[in-house]
Amino acid sequence: MAEVAYISASRVFPGTNPVRAVDELDLEIGDGEFLVLVGPSGSGKSTALRMIAGLEDIDEGAIRIGGREVTHVPPKSRDIAMVFQSYALYPHMTVAENMGFALRLRKERKDTIREKVAQAAEMLDLSEYLDRKPRELSGGQRQRVAMGRAIVRDPSVFLMDEPLSNLDAKLRVETRANIAALQRRLGTTTVYVTHDQVEAMTMGHRVAVLAEGRLQQVDTPRELYERPANSFVAGFIGSPAMNLRTARLTERGAVLDGHTVPLPRETLSVASERGLDEVTVGMRPESLRLTSPGEDGAELTVELVEELGADALVHTRPTAAESASRLVVRTDGREPPKLGDRVSVVARDPEELHLFDPRT
């Protein structure tokens, strides 16, 4: 087992317009930690993972695994095992041969290989499929063989690149719980790439959010949710994500759709110390409440109601301004409003509102 560190590490793809796919990444992943790299498509997640694997040059900075600098060490000498989205199984080999392949290359003894493969197969519920070929397996079983191949090598670090993206939604949820449980059992340092923030939040000890090759925030799922560092993270994490609206600040609060949303004095003084007169206000759907249209806020029209069972997501838009953006409110699913209803929205507790600097 080992810790992994990026030290101001960059990967710049050359060309007429060079792409800084990973831009001065500083990140330390602890021994035994499950760290998820998450971000939208093109944010540099795969490149960052491949830098640890040695599949991508490090153009600036360094990578360390287990305290050893590996910046220029070839992939096979890094003691890592990678699980790809495609699984990359050999079609002509059985499950057992696929799983034991790396050990055969390492010239391990036949009975040791058999034992390690049997052990991993047991963990992954694959024991009865060891003699099958990949084409005779379901998608979920193939995914587990790909995991098994990584496990038998007993590496210092697992690297996983969207390993669940070829599974259907139900199986993805099951498998993500299994992978997380397996990782905790093995205690092997794991770096896991996904674009799916729910996957990130449910699996990672910590989650690192990337945008345009830059690290936005690295924190526990709870911290990311409760204290997003900027409006990018706020808009990316949570399902649905936070409502984000630009507002003008006054001495009493933020002016949204012509109505003042009161803010705690402390929040206001922090904003004024930073010289902000315009802010991005972040409001989680569950931090808002519907009221009858009245004094409290602008009149809004219900545009869409998503019934989720226990609760409902109500999408509203200012009645007067067609162009204004929606505000999504989570309400009790038993009595959701109807389409076209006129409502107002108020904050449940001003302490639950977030303010962001619109420049970041």
Residues that bind ligand ADP (CB under 6 A): 13, 19, 21, 39, 41-47
Least separation in angstroms between residue 14's CB and ligand ADP is 8
Residue type present at position 356? F
Least separation in angstroms between residue 59's CB and ligand ADP is 12
Cα separation, 179 vs 160, whole angstroms: 11
CA dihedral 315, 319, 325, 326 (to 10 degrees): -10
Closer residue to ligand ADP in complex, CB, 10/183: 10
CA 137, 141, 147, 150 dihedral sign is negative
Closer residue to ligand ADP in complex, CB, 25/151: 25
Cα separation, 246 vs 242, whole angstroms: 13
Closer residue to ligand ADP in complex, CB, 16/323: 16
Cα separation, 153 vs 102, whole angstroms: 7
Closer residue to ligand ADP in complex, CB, 191/302: 191
CA 77, 19, 30, 173 dihedral sign is negative
Closer residue to ligand ADP in complex, CB, 41/323: 41
Least separation in angstroms between residue 16's CB and ligand ADP is 12
Least separation in angstroms between residue 17's CB and ligand ADP is 10
Q: What is the CB neighbour count within 10 angstroms for residue 242?
A: 25
Question: In Å, how far from its chain's centre is CA 132?
Answer: 34
Closer residue to ligand ADP in complex, CB, 11/245: 11
Least separation in angstroms between residue 52's CB and ligand ADP is 13
Least separation in angstroms between residue 339's CB and ligand ADP is 37
Cα separation, 212 vs 45, whole angstroms: 10
Least separation in angstroms between residue 207's CB and ligand ADP is 14
- The set of residues, in sequence order, having a beta carbon less than 8 Å from that of 173 and lying 6+ positions away, is none
Whether residue 240 has a cis bond before it, omega within 30° of 0: yes
Q: Return the half-sphere exposure (C-beta side, CA atoms, 13 A cut-off) of residue 84.
A: 7
CA 138, 129, 106, 29 dihedral sign is positive
**Is residue 285 a contact partner of residue 301, using CB atoms and an 8 Å limit?**
no
Residue type present at position 236? F
Least separation in angstroms between residue 24's CB and ligand ADP is 15
Least separation in angstroms between residue 215's CB and ligand ADP is 12
Closer residue to ligand ADP in complex, CB, 30/42: 42
Whole-Å CA distances, 193 to 39, 57, 203 = 9, 19, 11
